[in-house]
């Protein structure tokens, strides 16, 4: 029913070494497309043209699919057709001149400074897990780490005397990020008073531990932040990435330069960081409209 799909997936797995989740995504996208060709268009792959592919994309759009989904579908289809053309299964690649639709840049959700402080104050500091949670939230807001980077920290990655931590981010790139005084204070409290109650193995070098004494997972921290966020009367969900976005936006609002924020966030391209300047512009406009007598 799905001609050449198995061969294509084998090629991606063997020749390009793609991960199982990525292979599954390609397979899911292409099964939809091949089903569309067989049932709606009743045509074979060699018969298809660029208009066929565009028709499928318009079909997805009519069904209310997001622009990001349509872009991903087109990427899968283009890769498939390229494979078919190289293998000589089709005479030409009909997608050569097709470009993905422009995606709207969605501005990330950001908390106000007041709401960040309210979130930080939620953990119970009378318990070891509460001290750990407060410390993780303080470190996250002080550094803008990705949640995967936060839970991957080792004790040796933190230098409390100098006030910085070492982080290995995407592409195995290492960066050094300063820690604020509050983050240093809570890290000292956690390491000196709380972590030993969570540790079951003295050789464990993960900085943040779960109740089994092992390194806390991304899912584990996501549940922690969700629990505290639910106590706050704030519309919308709060995730670890919300704190990362808030970190970057608050820095820029208070005069930090874009390159420094880019470096701390670990963005390879400054255009990724520039989305936060739009947030600060929106904030300035909001303040102006509220404050200026002739706004």
Q: Give the CA-trace dihedral at 273, 274, 278, 279, to 10 degrees.
A: 10
Rounded Cα gap, residues 267 and 118, in angstroms? 28
Three-state SS at 176: strand
141-191 confidence digits (pLDDT tens):
999 999 999 999 999 999 999 999 999 887 788 899 999 999 999 999 999
Which CATH entry fits the domain spanning 5-86: 3.40.50, 1.10.3210, 1.10.150, 3.55.50?
1.10.150
Q: Which of 110, 106, 104, 118 is nearest to 286 (CA)?
A: 110
Domain boundaries, the chain: 5-86, 113-291
Active site residue 81: no
Please say whether the beta carbons of 188 and 177 come within 8 A.
Answer: no
Active site residue 170: yes
* Annotated catalytic residue, options 16, 92, 170, 259: 170
Question: How distant, in Å, are the alpha carbons of 55, 195, 197 from that of 49?
Answer: 10, 62, 65
126-142 confidence digits (pLDDT tens):
999 999 999 999 999 99
Active site residue 214: no
Residue 284: pLDDT over 80: no
Helix, strand and coil in the chain, % to nearest 5? 60, 5, 35
* Annotated catalytic residue, options 78, 132, 134, 267: 267
Active site residue 146: yes
Active site residue 276: yes
32-69 confidence digits (pLDDT tens):
999 999 888 888 888 899 999 999 999 998 888 888 88
Three-state SS at 82: helix
Please say whether the beta carbons of 73 and 32 come within 8 A.
Answer: yes
* Annotated catalytic residue, options 78, 132, 146, 195: 146
Q: What is the mean pLDDT of residues 197-210?
A: 93
Rounded Cα gap, residues 271 and 268, in angstroms? 9
* Annotated catalytic residue, options 78, 244, 245, 250: 244
Q: Which fold has domain 113-291?
A: hpI Integrase; Chain A (1.10.443)
Average pLDDT score, the chain:
88
């Amino acid at each position: 029913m799905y001609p050449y799909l198995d061969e294509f997936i084998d090629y991606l797995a063997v020749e390009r070494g793609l991960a199982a989740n990525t292979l599954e995504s390609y397979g899911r996208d292409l099964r939809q497309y091949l089903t569309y060709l067989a049932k709606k268009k009743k045509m074979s792959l060699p018969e298809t043209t660029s208009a066929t592919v565009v028709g499928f994309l318009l079909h997805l759009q009519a069904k209310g699919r997001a622009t990001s989904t349509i872009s991903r579908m087109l990427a899968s289809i283009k890769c498939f057709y390229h494979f078919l053309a190289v293998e000589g299964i089709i005479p030409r690649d009909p997608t050569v001149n097709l470009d993905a639709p422009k995606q709207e840049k969605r501005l990330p959700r950001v908390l106000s400074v007041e709401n960040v402080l309210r979130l930080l104050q939620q953990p119970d500091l009378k318990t070891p897990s509460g001290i750990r949670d407060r410390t993780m939230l303080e470190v996250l807001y002080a550094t803008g780490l990705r949640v995967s980077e936060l839970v991957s920290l080792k004790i040796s990655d933190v230098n409390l005397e100098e006030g910085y931590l070492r982080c290995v981010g995407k592409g195995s790139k290492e960066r050094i990020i300063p820690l604020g005084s509050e983050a240093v204070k809570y890290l000292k409290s956690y390491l000196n008073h709380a972590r030993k109650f969570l540790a079951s193995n003295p050789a464990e070098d993960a900085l943040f531990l779960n109740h089994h004494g092992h390194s806390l997972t991304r899912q584990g921290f996501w549940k922690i932040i969700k629990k505290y966020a639910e106590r706050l009367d704030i519309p919308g969900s709060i995730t670890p990435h919300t704190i990362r976005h808030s970190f970057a936006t608050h820095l820029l609002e208070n005069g930090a330069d874009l390159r420094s924020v880019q470096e701390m966030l670990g963005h390879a391209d400054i255009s990724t960081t520039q989305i936060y300047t739009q947030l600060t512009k929106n904030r300035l406009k909001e303040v102006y409209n509220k404050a200026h007598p002739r706004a």
